[in-house]
């Protein structure tokens, strides 16, 4: 029997805890400057519709069927409306199906940034419930790290990669997302073959709302200028890239970040739309002892080299948890401005 799956979890590549980065339009005659992040935050993310994460046949009393597949629905399709009625939650879709009486329904979908319509006829299962034959998801939640704040626009950026579905890895379509400050209460240590995580809880202090979910980070607005007490630095031009000693700002306890030593090993991808531009290695014994290197939740942690914001932590290497990828902050800013 097919059931709807509803989860409350966010998939953010190797590290879900978010690190925020802020950006604004760079002045023509001076380098872009931002306030450093490194603070943990929590996000409640709601899709703009429900995303199909899997399809499955079910028995109708005579044979196994899957109305979703028969109608041409695919994994990663986002169902936004049925017969012109908006679908925002799993419950919205479930109610429409249960009350369909087996009549053909017109589904409005988003697929690869394009809208299309499909005619779908729900089928009754052996207990008399009309089903679609699809597992869907409408929301998720998690903790992350802020990369930077743009004081000119009251904007922040985080993660260095997008919020994606756990099962399909597809970028989730942003509906609404409230961001609150969070506190790290513990760490599950990374080991070879197993990625650890920052563990914590949401506070009741609202940071703002997400306005954009991209492959190079999440971006949002903040209603508070509290970040002005943090260090303000220039964003490094990607052309300034060099290997050698650097630092990351990360929070592995409480709410305040600390600086940890790393080494930038090599440039691996110059592409402006990649979130895997260079490789970093954790060398700080404190971070190695406590976390084993990089853990989920460090994504977005600012990377500082030569006094400038070079980028953010994005991924960890599963078999070498003391190493991972970084994305250029310059690319994050460009992604927001597009």
> Which residues participate in catalysis according to the annotation?
161, 284, 299
Which residues does 244 contact at the CB level (< 8 Å), separation at least 6? 263, 264, 305
What does the alpha-carbon distance between residue 227 and residue 35 come to, in Å, rounded to a whole number? 7
DSSP state of 191: B
Q: Are 237 and 306 in contact (CB under 8 A)?
A: no
Minimal CA–CA distance to 159: which of 338, 18, 254, 298?
A: 18
Compute the half-sphere exposure of residue 199: CA atoms within 13 Å on the CB side of its CA.
10
Please give the biggest Cα pair distance in the chain: 72
Q: Are 107 and 118 in contact (CB under 8 A)?
A: yes
Place of tokens 């597809």: 170
What does the alpha-carbon distance between residue 330 and residue 171 come to, in Å, rounded to a whole number? 21
Give the CA distances from residue 67 to residues 3, 78, 125, 151, in Å, rounded to whole numbers and listed in that order.
14, 16, 11, 51
CB burial class (10 A; 0-12, 13-18, 19+) of residue 229? exposed
What does the alpha-carbon distance between residue 136 and residue 4 come to, in Å, rounded to a whole number? 6
Length of the chain: 338
Minimal CA–CA distance to 219: which of 12, 39, 8, 20?
A: 20
């Amino acid at each position: 029997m097919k059931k709807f799956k509803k989860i409350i979890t966010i998939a953010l590549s190797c590290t879900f805890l978010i690190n925020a980065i802020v950006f604004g339009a760079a002045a023509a005659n001076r380098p872009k400057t931002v306030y450093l992040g490194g603070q943990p935050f929590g996000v409640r993310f709601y899709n703009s519709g429900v995303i199909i994460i899997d399809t499955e046949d079910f028995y109708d009393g005579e044979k196994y069927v899957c109305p979703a597949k028969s109608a041409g629905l695919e994994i990663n399709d986002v169902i936004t409306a049925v017969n012109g009625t908006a679908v925002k939650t799993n419950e919205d879709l479930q109610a429409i199906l249960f009350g369909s009486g087996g009549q053909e329904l017109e589904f409005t979908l988003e697929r690869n940034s394009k809208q299309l319509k499909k005619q779908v006829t729900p089928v009754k299962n052996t207990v008399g419930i009309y089903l679609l034959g699809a597992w869907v998801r409408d929301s998720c939640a998690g903790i992350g790290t802020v990369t930077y704040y743009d004081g000119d626009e009251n904007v922040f950026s985080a993660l260095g990669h997008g919020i994606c579905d756990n099962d399909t890895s597809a970028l989730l379509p942003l509906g609404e997302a409230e961001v609150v400050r969070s506190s790290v209460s513990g760490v599950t240590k990374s080991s070879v073959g197993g990625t650890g995580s920052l563990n914590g809880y949401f506070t009741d202090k609202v940071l703002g709302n997400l306005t954009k979910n991209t492959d190079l980070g999440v971006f949002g607005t903040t209603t508070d200028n509290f970040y002005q007490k943090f260090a303000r630095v220039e964003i490094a031009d990607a052309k300034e890239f060099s290997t050698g000693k650097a630092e990351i700002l990360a929070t592995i306890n409480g709410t305040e970040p600390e600086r940890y030593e790393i080494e930038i090993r090599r440039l691996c991808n110059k592409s402006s739309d990649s979130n895997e531009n260079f490789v970093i290695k954790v060398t700080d014994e404190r971070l190695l002892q406590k976390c084993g290197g990089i853990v989920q939740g460090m994504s977005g942690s600012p990377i500082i080299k030569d006094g400038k914001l070079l980028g953010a932590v994005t991924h960890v290497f599963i078999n070498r948890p003391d190493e991972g990828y970084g994305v250029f902050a310059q690319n994050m800013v460009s992604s927001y401005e597009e």
